[in-house]
Amino acid sequence: MGEAILWAETKFGELLKKILDFHSSGRGTMKRKDLPEGITKKQSHEAQQLAKNPEILHIHAKFAQRIRK
């Protein structure tokens, strides 16, 4: 079950990255869009870090397989 949660958080991070990309404010400056309601900065950061570093998911999966044996 832990692997499924990490996989879901990784996908969540990928989605957040897409919707939170910088956009123009119309004045020549770049501004980041607000987080979706109910999502904290910490949750967003952790999910995006998992998406940025997929090897974490693979390491966890291998470790979980060893524990189950």
pLDDT, one tens digit per residue, over 17-36 is 888 765 555 665 555 667 88
CA–CA distances in Å: residue 1 to residues 6, 27, 61, 67:
9, 47, 11, 13
Query: Rg for the chain (alpha carbons), in Å?
Result: 16
Instruction: Scan for tokens 């950061």, then name that residue.
Output: 45
Low-confidence ranges of the chain (pLDDT < 70): 1, 21-33, 69
Q: What is the pTM of this model?
A: 0.65
3-class DSSP state for residue 30?
Answer: strand
**Distance between CA atoms of residues 29 and 52, nearest Å:** 25
pLDDT at 33: 67
Q: Which amino acid is at 41?
A: K
Average pLDDT, the chain: 79
